[in-house]
């Protein structure tokens, strides 16, 4: 039985991906800051409760990350897949008005959190038998192109691309593969505003098409299921008609 760990598993993309991995036969550790949200995710699984672990954790806190991976190791004895999905955004204010506190919080969760979890995954994956595993980073469409007033979020997602490449390179020696999935307009509670209108580059507010989050979950399961000699380095999964390709 393969073991997956999903951060940010209490809602949205993380919840959908965790449930899809569980349905595909993985044992899944559900990580997130809110224990009650993780329990809600676990309750949505059709069966196989023995293959689920709810593990509250703050990925921006090194001690919390250490405890999280220790819990996974103690319960399942190995880790095959890490989905670095936990993320946070800052208020959509003009760049010059973004507080340092808000900037640091986004960096701590989106970038430092992914780094800390990647480090911890390396330590498990390089020493387990069979050796190796796979790390999937949630990059976002913002890893390619920003939305207005999203400096902190966009900067971290561009940085995730660098982390993905370095992880992929440094993991070769230990049979650890790393890839990135860039997601655009998946229908989750975070994207409800898109049906009403979101800021565009020209200053307008305009509604944007969305896609079912199950498409993202299926893509994560596909990436996770490849043999370790193969890797999806970068994948973009987006609502077909969203204003990303071309000039809007």
Contact criterion met (CB below 8 Å) for 14 and 93: no
Catalytic residue among 28, 111, 153, 188: 153
Q: Rounded CA gap, 220 and 234, in Å? A: 12
What are the extents of the domains in the chain?
Answer: 3-238
Q: Up-side HSE of residue 172: CA atoms within 13 Å toward CB?
A: 5
Contacts of 105 (CB under 8 A, 6+ apart): 60, 88, 90
List, in sequence order, every residue forming a beta bridge with 181; answer none if it has no partner. 138, 235
Looking at residue 247, what is its pLDDT?
64
Q: Rounded CA gap, 45 and 51, in Å? A: 10
- Give the tens place of pLDDT for each residue, 41-51: 999 998 889 99
- Give the tens place of pLDDT for each residue, 68-82: 999 999 999 999 999
Whether 208 shows a pLDDT value over 90: the answer reads: no
Contacts of 99 (CB under 8 A, 6+ apart): none
Whether 120 shows a pLDDT value over 80: the answer reads: yes
3-class secondary structure, 100: helix
Whether this model's pTM surpasses 0.85: yes
CATH code for the domain defined by 3-238? 3.40.50.720
Whether 134 shows a pLDDT value over 90: the answer reads: yes
User: Per-residue pLDDT averaged across 180-191, rounded?
Assistant: 86
In the residue annotation, 174 being an active-site residue is answered as no
Residue 127 burial by Cβ neighbours in a 10 Å radius (0-12, 13-18, 19+): exposed
Looking at residue 248, what is its pLDDT?
58
User: Which range is least confidently modeled, 75-84, 144-153, 172-181?
Assistant: 144-153
User: Per-residue pLDDT averaged across 128-133, rounded?
Assistant: 98
Of 12, 6, 22, the residue nearest 212 (C-alpha): 12
């Amino acid at each position: 039985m393969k073991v997956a760990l999903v951060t940010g598993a209490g809602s949205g993309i993380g919840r959908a991906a965790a449930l899809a991995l569980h349905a595909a036969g993985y044992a899944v550790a559900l990580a997130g800051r809110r224990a009650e949200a993780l329990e809600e995710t676990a309750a949505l699984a059709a069966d196989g409760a023995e293959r689920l672990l709810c593990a509250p954790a703050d990925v921006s806190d090194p001690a919390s990350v250490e405890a999280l991976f220790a819990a996974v190791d103690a319960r399942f004895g190995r880790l095959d897949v890490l989905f670095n999905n936990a993320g946070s955004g800052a208020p959509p204010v003009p760049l010059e008005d973004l507080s340092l506190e808000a900037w640091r919080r986004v960096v701590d969760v989106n970038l430092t959190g992914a780094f800390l979890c990647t480090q911890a995954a390396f330590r498990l994956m390089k020493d387990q038998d069979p050796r190796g595993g796979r790390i999937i980073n949630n990059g976002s469409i913002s890893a390619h192109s920003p939305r207005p007033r999203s400096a902190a979020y966009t900067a971290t997602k561009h940085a995730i691309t660098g982390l993905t490449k370095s992880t992929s390179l440094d993991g070769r020696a230990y049979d650890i593969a790393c890839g990135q999935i860039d997601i655009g307009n998946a229908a989750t509670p975070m994207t409800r505003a898109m049906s009403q209108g979101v800021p565009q580059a020209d200053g307008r507010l305009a509604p944007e098409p969305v896609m079912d989050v199950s498409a993202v979950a299926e893509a994560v399961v596909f990436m996770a299921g490849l043999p370790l000699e193969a890797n999806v380095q970068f994948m973009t999964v987006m609502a077909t008609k969203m204003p990303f390709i071309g000039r809007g």
